[in-house]
């Protein structure tokens, strides 16, 4: 079985703006992210992003907007020698109905576990909200809660010890 680090997007990978981030001009990868992800890859971890994108359900932006920004982000990572296995995101919002893919529910984590044959006991979920940690915990993945917009290098010390 494989091991992975699951990562929330806004506040962990890119700067949390306290508003929806869906335009490339608003997307800023945080310092140390590239170095941290390279370190995790060298230690044999697959990298998977799991994000709530409720602005789609609210009509603030579209799936195409999210896909365009994700392509931009993946291009940046590829240029820096980083492979993101997959990006799972929930387009729903609780104001417009219920779903089980929105964190703190665990459907997207379960999809990653199944698709990539991940051992939950050797995997981690790094997030800046309690809902991120809970989504992992529901399926046996250890959560690491960090403060938004902080260095990912500090968070991975727990993993690479």
Beta strand residue intervals within the chain, DSSP E: 4-7, 46-52, 86-90, 124-127, 142-145
Q: Which of 8, 65, 105, 132 is an active site residue?
A: 8
Of the residues 10, 18, 32, 105, only one is catalytic, namely: 10
Q: How far apart are CA 13 and CA 11, in angstroms?
A: 6
Whether the upstream peptide bond of residue 104 has omega within 30° of 0, thus cis, is yes
10 catalytic per annotation: yes
User: Domains in the chain and their CATH numbers?
Assistant: 4-134+147-160 (3.40.50.1000)
Whether 132 is catalytic is: no
For 116-149, what is each residue's pLDDT tens digit? Answer: 999 999 999 999 999 999 999 999 999 999 999 9
Q: What is the pTM of this model?
A: 0.97
The model's confidence at residue 72, banded by pLDDT at 50, 70 and 90, is very high
Which residues fall within 8 angstroms of residue 60, CB to CB, at 6 or more apart? 20, 22
Q: What share of the chain in percent tops pLDDT 90? A: 96
What is the pLDDT at residue 161? 79
């Amino acid at each position: 079985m494989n091991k992975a680090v699951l990562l929330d997007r806004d506040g962990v990978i890119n700067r949390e703006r306290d508003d929806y981030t869906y335009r490339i001009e608003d997307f800023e990868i945080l310092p140390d992210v590239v170095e941290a992800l390279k370190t995790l890859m060298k230690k044999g971890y697959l990298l998977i992003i799991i994000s709530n994108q409720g602005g789609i359900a609210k009509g603030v932006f579209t799936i195409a907007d999210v896909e365009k920004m994700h392509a931009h982000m993946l291009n940046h990572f590829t240029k820096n020698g980083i492979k993101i296995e997959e990006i799972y995101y929930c387009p729903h919002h609780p104001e417009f109905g219920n779903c089980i893919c929105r964190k703190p529910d665990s459907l997207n984590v379960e999809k990653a576990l199944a698709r990539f044959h991940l051992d939950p006991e050797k995997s981690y979920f790094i997030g800046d909200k309690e809902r991120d940690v809970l989504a992992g915990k529901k399926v046996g993945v250890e959560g690491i809660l960090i403060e938004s917009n902080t260095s990912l290098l500090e968070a991975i010390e727990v993993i690479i010890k």
